[in-house]
Amino acid sequence: MPNFGLLITEFLIAGLGFVVLIADFSIPWRSRRAHNLTLALLASIGLIFIAIYSFANRSVDPEHLYEQLIFVDGFSLIFKILAMGIGAAVTLISIDYVYRKIRNPGEFYALIIFAVLGADLVASSGELLTAYISIEVMAFCLYVLVAISRGDGRSAEAAVKYILLGSLSSALMLLGIAILFGAIGETTFRYMESVMSALLGGSGNDPSMTVILGLALFFAGIGFKLSLVPFHLWAPDVYEGAPTPITAFIAVLSKAAVIALLIRFLAEAGYRSMDDWQLPLAILAAGTMTIGTLTALVQQNIKRLFAYSSIAQVGFILVGLISLNENGVNAVILHMCGYAVTNLAAFSVIMAIEVGQGDESIEGFSGLASRSPFMAMVMASSLFSLAGLPIYAGFVTKFLLFTSAVQAGLTWLMVVAVVNSLISLYYYIRIIKQMYVYEAVNSVRVSPSIVASIPIWLLFIGMVLIGIYPLPLMTAIDSATNALGPFLG
């Protein structure tokens, strides 16, 4: 009898989702505002409590269920908490948006919770099929969430594109998994390792084309979820068409989860054949950040710009991942946390502008500094953070990422990364110029409600705190990656 107690976090999250759904239809709501606010607070506070509970009851030793299908260790814990934090933050910052634009808040918040559950399982899975199913759990919630603005044509269009391309990529991934299983006879990461490194050219054999094909298909699927170049073309359209809270949610949650999966896969199944992975992944990373950065330069729509900027950010993350040493993996997780906080802060401002003045163009930001100084400051800070400037999170996390790349002997990749980081500053400055230098075209004072401005403050403080004092977070991350420790080169 497996120890189901280990899955308490997942049960709680699923339960919370159902509670939100039941509350949605069973309580006779008097006003839409109360309806929306109650559900949002229920969802976010519930997630926060589950996060605190699972942290307080964490097990010291890494444990696993069903013969290593699902890991319950420090590494999955930190990503679970990150996912729940993202879910809670997205719920809180989107209260105003949902009230104005979305007719069915119950489904909206419940699907966010279920997506968090999916992400949570992705980060815990230690086997290919479990990973696949978990990714699908997350992806199906996201498909529906993208389409949730009923009546908005762009939302529907984005959803169709997302579903079609998403299922194609899932099919490819599944095919890859099938081929790998055929060649290796195993789908559990830890047991795949020895056969795979032998088949990839270890101990003097010729590399097996079957394994390479399987891996290539598997990575294509992963690449789609992460919007790596050349699998990124869906991202701008989906980001632009989706309701803005969901854009933010996709941009951070699905990436955090898949990155966790990738780290675990590489650390457990690929550490001995890492030398073979390194160059292809490095080229992927260089291409992703370069194309993301260069395409972002010419965007006029703020959500499209963030789509390309987040593509570039994944490239940076990959830089740290490739080194696959303890520093690199720590830096990746720290960057992921900083990136989540920064992006959510930026999106909360984008959302406020969209709700306030119905504008998604970069010109919509003009004169924001004189209209809403606080929102302008948060936006400018997040942009500086994304560009990697102190005192914000982006500076220290990028510094550590790039350091790990040089430690892995990939100096050229670090040079590509810093140059891209520089180019990105140019398009971030375009927005800052609109906010601070130009006169306002639109005179609407964008001011979020009190409930919505508290999470923005918290995100802003988090962004600065990671930038100037990352030690507590880094210590937590460090002990989390110790769970993978023996497998990191």
Partner 1 sequence: MDRYILEILIFLPALTAALLMVTPAAWVMAIRWVSISAGALLMFASAYVFIGFDQNSSADDFQFVKEYEWLESVGIGFSLGVDGIAALMVLLTGIVSVTGLVVATNVVKQPKNYYILLFALIAGVYGTFVSIDLFFFFFFYELAIVPMYLLIAVWGSSSKFKNFSRTKEYSALKLVLMIVAASVLVWIGVITIYVQTGSLTFNMLELRELIQSSDAPLSKDFQNIVFPLMMIGFGLLAGLWPFHTWSPDGHVAAPTSVSMLHAGVLMKLGAFGIIRVGMTLLPEGFETWSLALLILGTINVVYGAVSALSQTDLKYVIGYSSVSHMGYVLMGIGTVDIIGLTGASLQMFSHGVMTALFFAIVGAIYERTHTRDTLVLNGLSARMGWASGFFIVAGLASLGLPGLSGFVSELLVFIGTFRTEPILGALGIIGAAITATYILRLIGRVFFGPIDPKWESLKDLSPKEFGVGAFLLTPIVVVGIFPAPFLDVIRPSVDVILRGMS
Please give the residue ranges that form the binding site for partner 1 (CB under 8 A): 327, 330, 369-370, 373, 384, 389-391, 395-396, 399-400, 402-403, 406-407, 411, 414-415, 418-419, 421-422, 425-426, 429, 432-433, 436-437, 469-471, 474, 478
- Minimum CB–partner distance for residue 298 and partner 1 (Å): 17
Least separation in angstroms between CB 13 and partner 1: 32
We find the least distance from the C-beta atom of residue 366 to partner 1, in angstroms, to be 13
CB of 246 to partner 1, least distance (A): 32
Nearer to partner 1 by C-beta: 373 or 489? Answer: 373
CB of 431 to partner 1, least distance (A): 12
CB closer to partner 1 out of 208 and 407:
407
- If the CB atoms of residues 37 and 389 are measured against partner 1, the closer one turns out to be 389
Q: In this complex, which beta carbon is closest to partner 1, that of residue 160 or of residue 429?
A: 429
d(CA 442, CA 361): 12
Task: Tell me if 282 sits within 8 A of 317, measured CB to CB.
Answer: no
Smaller CB distance to partner 1: residue 233 or 419? 419
Distance CA 296, CA 307 (A): 8
Count the neighbouring beta carbons within 10 Å of the beta carbon of residue 226.
26
Closest to partner 1 by CB, 185 vs 472, is 472
Q: Of 471, 279, 446, which is closest to residue 366 (Cα–Cα)?
A: 446
Q: How many helices (H) and strands (E) does the chain have?
A: 21, 2
Of 209 and 297, nearer to partner 1 (C-beta) is 297
Shortest Å, Cβ 243 to partner 1: 32
- Which residue's CB is nearer to partner 1, number 155 or number 420? 420
Q: Closest distance between partner 1 and the C-beta of residue 18, in Å?
A: 42
Residue pair 136/170 in contact by the 8 Å Cβ criterion: yes
Residue 63, H or E segment = strand 63-65
Least spacing, CB of residue 284 vs partner 1, in Å: 22
Q: How far apart are CA 166 and CA 224, in angstroms?
A: 8
Angle (CA) 215 122 465, round 5°: 115
Nearest CA to 295 out of 284, 280, 283, 310 is that of 310
Asked if 197 and 273 touch (Cβ cutoff 8 Å), the reply is yes
**Cα→Cα distances 95→10, 305, 402, 480, Å:** 25, 24, 37, 33
Residue 116: CB minimum distance to partner 1, A: 29
**Separation of alpha carbons 395 and 393, rounded Å:** 6
Residue indicated by tokens 């073309």 = 233
Q: Pick from 10, 20, 9: which is nearest to 109 by CA?
A: 20
In the bound state with partner 1, the residue whose beta carbon lies nearer, of 208 and 370, is 370
Write the CA distances from 213 to 185, 193, 197, integer angstroms: 15, 17, 15
Judged by phi (left if over 0) then psi (alpha if -120 to 50, else beta), residue 95 lies in: alpha
- Minimum gap (Å) between residue 301 Cβ and partner 1: 22
**Smallest gap, in angstroms, from Cβ of residue 466 to partner 1?**
12
Distance CA 288, CA 294 (A): 10
Nearer to partner 1 (CB atom), residue 249 or residue 392: 392
| Residue 165 φ/ψ region, left for φ over 0, alpha for ψ in the -120 to 50 degree band, beta for the rest | alpha
Residue from 303, 425, 295 nearest 361 by CA:
303
Query: How many Cα atoms sit within 13 Å of 423 on the Cβ side?
Result: 19
From the CB of 1, what's the least distance to partner 1, in Å? 40
Nearer residue to partner 1 within complex by CB, 9 or 293: 293
Contact 46, 17 (CB under 8 A): no
Q: Give burial (CB, 10 Å; 0-12/13-18/19+) of 347.
A: buried
CB nearer to partner 1: pick between 188 and 424:
424
